[in-house]
Amino acid sequence: MARQGRVARLYLLAYNCAQAAGWAYSGWLLAQHVAATGSLRGAYAAAGEPVRLFQLASALEIVHAALGLVGGSPVTALMQWAGRSNVLFGVVAAVPEVQPGLAVGAMLAAWAASEVVRYPWYAAGVAGACPHWLTWLRYTAFIPLYPIGVVVEMAAVYQALPLIRGRRLRSVAMPNPFNFAFDYHTFLVALLALYPLLWFRLYSFLFRQRAKKLGPGAEAGSSAKKQA
C-alpha cells in the first residue's frame, strides 16, 4: 500500500470499478438469457461481446504488476491472462460451432461469477474499506467456481479441437519467410495436458491465501495489493 501514490490509487480504484461493472453487466446479460431460454446454451451470443472487451482490457493487469502498481509477478499475471485469452480469443472466437454449446455458456457464467466478486474486492482494498464479508466471499467463491471453470474451459477447447485440426486454424507451416512452424492443435493438446497441473497450483495458492486472510488473527479488510 505504501508504494501507491494518490493518483495510482485513484486509477486502480477506477480500473477495478470499471471491471466490476463490466462483469456485472455481462452477468446480468447471462442471467437474462437464462431467464428467457432456461439454459446457458447460446449464452455466448448474449454476453460474448462485453466478456471479450473486459477480458482484453484486463491485460492492463500485467502492466500494473510490471510497474509495481500492484504486487505479484507480471509473469504470473501474463500467464493467467494468456490462459483465459487463449480459450476465449484463440479457440472460442475462432470456432463458431462451439459457441452455442453448454460448455462455453457455463464457462462465461463461471468467469462472471468469479469476477463479480474479485474486482469489487480489489476496489474495496484500494479504497481501504473492505468489509469482512467481501473478503470472505472472495476467498470462498473460488472454491466451487474454479473447478467448475477449469472443467468447462477444457471441455470447450476439447470440443473445438477436431475443427481446429481440420481447418488448420491459427497454424503456420514451413516453408515461409520466418522459417517458423506452429501447429495450434498440437499446442492445445499439450496445454490441455498441463492445465490440471497449472490450475492446481493456482487453486492451492488461493487456499493458502484463504487461510492467511480468513484464518485466526487475520485482519479484516486486508490490502488488495497481491493480485491472484
Residues forming contacts to another protein in the complex (CB under 8 A) are 174-181
Q: What is the rounded distance in angstroms from the CA atom of residue 130 to the CA atom of residue 120? A: 9
Residue 15 bears catalytic tag: no
Based on its alpha-carbon atoms, the radius of gyration of the chain, rounded to whole angstroms, reads 19
Closer to another protein at the Cβ: 79 or 148?
A: 79
Nearest to 223 by CA among 60, 204, 212, 81: 212
Angle, vertex CA 194, rays to CA 188 and CA 199, nearest 5: 115
Q: 182 forms bridges with which residues in the sheet? A: 172
CB of 226 to another protein, least distance (A): 16
CB of 191 to another protein, least distance (A): 17
Closer to another protein at the Cβ: 174 or 193?
A: 174
Q: What is the rounded distance in angstroms from the CA atom of residue 225 to the CA atom of residue 45? A: 35
CB of 177 to another protein, least distance (A): 7
Q: What is the rounded distance in angstroms from the CA atom of residue 195 to the CA atom of residue 198? A: 5
CB of 175 to another protein, least distance (A): 4
Annotated catalytic residue within 25, 146, 158, 195? 146
Closer to another protein at the Cβ: 133 or 178?
A: 178
Which residues lie closer than 8 Å to 200 by C-beta, 6 or more apart?
A: none
Q: Which three cell numbers stand for residue 31?
A: 442471467
Phi and psi at 70, nearest 5°, equal -130, 160
Annotated catalytic residue within 61, 115, 122, 153? 153
Q: How far apart are the first and last CA of the chain?
A: 16
CB of 210 to another protein, least distance (A): 23
Closer to another protein at the Cβ: 176 or 215?
A: 176
Residue 122 bears catalytic tag: no
Closer to another protein at the Cβ: 2 or 7?
A: 2
As annotated, the active-site residues are 146, 153
